[in-house]
């Protein structure tokens, strides 16, 4: 008995030993499919899984369908993803066929499906030629409602999902706390990190509800720069503590909201990472930008902020990286820093470009096999990529399914009339009024001549569209004539006659950067033109309205204007959308909405500044003093038809208007009482 007990114990211990060694793993059940797939991958397959390729052009032509060289490229290599641009987008049917062909080429080797991405932020950065453009982030900041941001994400998500696109490089979570920022501006929700966090997470929720993966950008923040990383290498000299108190707040919120990807910023932060590199362009030492910084990618983002998702670089061919770093060094530094996916590391825009990409893949593979790039980092990154693909059902081999049905759905969804109707309502809600002397707006006087002057020719149709909508809804006063022109780079003298004949002149101002404030600078030519037009209009007895259609910082640039309205986007219109039954060319809704609201007597102006607007010095620089505070915005006023008394369109204004109307009723009904106590009623009218 004792001997048998000893044998049983020995057998039990042996089984435990074998199980711990993995001998029974196959019998006990299948291994983790991600680990199994990772183990089966070659080094080259792992490296290519970390690459996102842009089939943007080929031999100088836009790529709207895969040609033979590109098809072979996607069949040959196990790329992690592809990114599409405006050059790839003609209409819904074409994009569905393109995304299908990309996935089919990739599926030749039974690989995980591609992450097919796009920059569809809404507003100024929108790639779909026939999609709903929406207002953009700063307009959503002017609305200030989570529901508006979420609905924007939902509309964009519905359209991307219908097209076979599964990743949106959005939302922008940069805090635009530098008015001179040349690249973020209206792409940001606000200069308040709490507002950016609140609206950004709502936008994420909208995209996620339509099964679109999100990529926050640009970590750790591109809002406080005066250099564009597309054309230079910016630097932000803030401390880590300062970033934690501002720039990092929206990213922390985005991580908590479940964002699957975060895009890096090619920006130097010397107070976070002082590691230097000898620039190949200048020969001088520069600091490692965040994209290549282990202290920022791994130290701050992974360790301190607890982020476990995908880190993807901003485009590696941007000047901030490409001009200063050897390409292999940049890739090696990025992977060692903790980056998981490299966006556009090479440009396969020709046969020579494809060969260049293939050489890069071979070189990075060799560096990894040699240990110069840690295999541990590569494995960790590929594991994260496969985990994300598994979460979204992309580990299984792609199947086309019913392509015709998918095309029909896409055509019905992308840029649909329902989406455009919602887009216009959002644009109307974002319109902001910062000056309105003598209650000039809305334009309600009859028999007036109104002249609207655009900054560019592509805005003429936008203004016409807004005017026509106002006419159709009987908003333009009887006898009022609205004419449209373009001042552009035209000398004011050439349009002086038109201005002289007008009762009201409206000019669109488009401030694209701080230099545009200064009339002595080439960039300030349009501001100088508006200065001259205001003077001419006033000499002729006309009123002048400035419509700020881009950055809001020009809203205090024209102190002599009678009214200033902001609409947050200068995107124009190439065709009248009502002339299309399908494939409506994408257009900006903000200028039409602003023109409409200038005549919308009875509708409320609800937009409020989402940023502080600094005062402007005598030499046209931004001052430290704040001229208009975040949250500022004027309301239209309602007018009593009997006596012209004005009432703000808010709750107190409505109460006052009701009391005022009751007094008029009493006056009309009780003539005898009124004649006996006229003084009393006069006092009441003045009070209300």
31-80 tens-digit pLDDT:
789 999 999 999 999 999 999 999 999 999 999 999 999 999 999 999 99
Domains 32-413 and 431-635 equal at CATH topology level = no
In this prediction, residue 29 has a pLDDT band, given cuts at 50, 70 and 90, of very low
The DSSP secondary structure of 324-361, one letter per residue, reads TS-HHHHHHHHHHHT--BEE-SS--SSHHHHHHHHHHH
| pLDDT at res. 23 | 42
Q: Minimal CA–CA distance to 218: which of 271, 114, 289? A: 289
| Range with the poorest average pLDDT among 204-213, 513-522, 563-572, 633-642 | 633-642
| pLDDT at res. 581 | 87
| pLDDT at res. 229 | 72
In this prediction, residue 18 has a pLDDT band, given cuts at 50, 70 and 90, of very low
Give dist(CA 398, CA 166) in Å, integer: 13
Is residue 538 part of the annotated active site? The answer reads: no
Give dist(CA 468, CA 475) in Å, integer: 10
What percent of the chain is predicted at pLDDT more than 70? 89
Give dist(CA 135, CA 419) in Å, integer: 12
Domain ranges of the chain: 32-413, 431-635, 639-687
Q: What would the pLDDT profile of 459-472 be if each residue is shown by its tens digit? A: 999 999 999 999 99
In this prediction, residue 302 has a pLDDT band, given cuts at 50, 70 and 90, of very high
Q: What would the pLDDT profile of 243-278 be if each residue is shown by its tens digit? A: 999 999 999 999 999 999 999 999 999 999 999 999
Is residue 314 part of the annotated active site? The answer reads: yes
Determine which one of 119, 314, 562, 638 is catalytic: 314
Note whether 312 and 222 are within 8 A (CB): no
Rg (CA), the chain: 30
Q: What is the 3-state secondary structure (H, E, C) of 12-77?
A: HHHHHHHHHHCCCHHHHCCCCHHHHHHHHCCHHHHHHHCEEECCCEECCEECCCCCHHHHHHHHHC
Q: What would the pLDDT profile of 345-381 be if each residue is shown by its tens digit? A: 999 999 999 999 999 999 999 999 999 999 999 999 9
Give dist(CA 449, CA 461) in Å, integer: 19
Average pLDDT rounded to a whole number, residues 287-299 = 98
Which SS3 state, helix, strand or coil, does residue 146 take?
A: helix
| pLDDT at res. 663 | 74
Half-sphere exposure of 345 (CA within 13 A, CB side): 34
Q: What would the pLDDT profile of 66-118 be if each residue is shown by its tens digit? A: 999 999 999 999 999 999 999 999 999 999 999 999 999 999 998 999 999 99
**Location of structure tokens 């010095």:** 617
Question: Hey, how many other C-beta atoms are within 10 angstroms of the C-beta on 228?
Answer: 17
Describe the strand order of the beta sheet including 481-486 as a list of residue ranges.
432-436, 563-566, 543-548, 504-509, 449-454, 481-486
The DSSP secondary structure of 565-623, one letter per residue, reads EE-S-----SS-GGG-SSSPPP--SHHHHHHHHHS-TTSPP----SS-EEEE-TTS-EE
Note whether 592 and 465 are within 8 A (CB): yes
Phi, psi of 281 (to 5 degrees): -85, -40
Give dist(CA 324, CA 319) in Å, integer: 8
- Quick one: tokens of 167? 């990743």
| pLDDT at res. 647 | 59
Instruction: Give me the CATH code for the 32-413 domain, please.
Output: 3.20.20.300
Q: What would the pLDDT profile of 380-420 be if each residue is shown by its tens digit? A: 999 999 999 999 999 999 999 999 999 999 999 999 999 99
**Would you identify the CATH topology of the domain 431-635?**
Rossmann fold (3.40.50)
* Chain mean pLDDT for the chain: 91
Please, what's the b/e burial string for 279-291 (b: 16 or more CB within 10 A of its CB; e: otherwise)? eeeeeeebbbbbb
Element (H, E) at 151: helix 146-163
């Amino acid at each position: 008995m004792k001997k048998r007990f000893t044998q049983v114990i020995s057998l039990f211990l042996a089984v435990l030993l074998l199980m711990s060694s993995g001998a029974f793993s196959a019998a006990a059940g299948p291994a983790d499919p991600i680990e199994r797939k990772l183990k089966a991958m070659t080094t080259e397959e792992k490296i290519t899984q970390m690459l996102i390729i842009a089939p943007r052009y080929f031999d100088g032509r836009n790529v709207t369908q895969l040609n033979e060289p590109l098809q072979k490229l996607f069949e040959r290599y196990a790329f992690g993803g592809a990114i599409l641009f405006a050059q790839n987008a003609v209409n819904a049917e074409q994009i569905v066929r393109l995304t299908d062909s990309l996935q089919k080429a990739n599926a030749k080797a039974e690989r995980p499906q591609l992450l097919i991405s796009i920059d569809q932020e809404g507003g100024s950065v929108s790639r779909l030629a026939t999609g709903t453009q929406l207002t953009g982030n700063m307009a959503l900041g002017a609305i200030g409602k989570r529901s508006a941001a979420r609905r924007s994400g939902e509309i964009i998500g519905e359209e991307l999902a219908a097209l076979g696109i599964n990743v949106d490089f959005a939302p922008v979570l940069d805090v635009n706390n530098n008015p001179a920022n040349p690249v973020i501006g209206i792409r940001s929700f606000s200069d308040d990190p709490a507002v950016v966090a609140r609206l950004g997470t709502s936008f994420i929720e909208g995209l996620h509800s339509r099964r679109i993966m999100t990529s926050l950008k640009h970590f750790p923040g591109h809002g406080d720069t005066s250099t564009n990383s597309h054309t230079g290498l910016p630097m932000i000299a803030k401390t880590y503590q300062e970033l934690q108190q501002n720039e990092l707040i929206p990213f922390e919120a985005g991580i908590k909201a479940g964002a699957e990807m975060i895009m890096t910023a090619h920006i130097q932060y010397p107070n976070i990472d002082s590691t230097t590199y000898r620039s190949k362009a200048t020969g001088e030492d520069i600091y490692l930008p965040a994209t290549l910084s282990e202290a920022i990618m791994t130290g701050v983002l992974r360790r301190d902020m607890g982020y476990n998702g995908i880190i993807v670089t901003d485009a590696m061919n941007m000047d901030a990286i490409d001009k200063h770093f050897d390409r292999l060094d940049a890739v090696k530094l990025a992977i060692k820093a903790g980056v998981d996916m490299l966006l556009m590391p090479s440009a396969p825009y020709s046969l020579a470009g494809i060969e260049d990409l293939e050489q890069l893949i071979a070189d990075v593979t060799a560096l990894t096999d040699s240990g110069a790039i840690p295999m541990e980092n590569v494995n960790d990154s590929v594991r994260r990529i496969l985990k994300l693909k598994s979460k979204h059902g992309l580990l299984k081999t792609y199947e086309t399914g019913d392509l015709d049905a998918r095309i029909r759905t896409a055509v019905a969804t992308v840029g649909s009339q329902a989406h455009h109707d919602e887009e216009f309502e959002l644009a109307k809600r974002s319109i902001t009024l910062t000056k309105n002397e003598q209650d000039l707006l809305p334009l309600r006087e009859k028999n007036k001549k109104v002249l609207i002057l655009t900054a560019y020719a592509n805005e003429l149709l936008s203004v016409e569209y807004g005017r026509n909508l106002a006419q159709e809804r009987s908003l333009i006063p009887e006898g009022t004539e609205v004419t449209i022109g373009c001042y552009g780079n035209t000398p004011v003298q050439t349009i002086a006659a038109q201005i002289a004949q007008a009762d009201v002149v409206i000019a669109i101002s488009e401030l694209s950067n701080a230099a545009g404030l200064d009339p002595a600078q080439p960039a300030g030519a349009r501001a100088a033109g508006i200065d001259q037009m205001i003077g001419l209009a006033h000499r002729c007895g006309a009123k002048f309205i400035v419509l700020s259609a881009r950055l809001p910082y020009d809203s205090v640039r024209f102190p002599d204007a009678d009214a200033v309205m902001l609409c947050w986007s200068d995107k124009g219109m190439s065709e009248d959308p009502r002339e299309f039954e399908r494939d409506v060319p994408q257009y900006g809704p903000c200028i039409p909405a602003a023109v409409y609201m200038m005549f919308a007597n009875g509708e409320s102006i609800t937009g409020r500044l989402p940023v502080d607007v600094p005062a402007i010095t005598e030499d046209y620089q931004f001052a430290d003093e704040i001229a208009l505070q975040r949250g500022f915005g004027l309301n239209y006023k309602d007018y009593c038809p009997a006596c012209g008394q004005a009432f703000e369109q808010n709750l107190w204004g409505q109460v006052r208007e009701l009391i005022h109307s009751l007094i008029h009723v009493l006056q009309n009904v009780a003539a005898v009482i009124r004649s006996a106590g006229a003084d009393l009623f006069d006092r009441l009218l003045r009070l209300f």
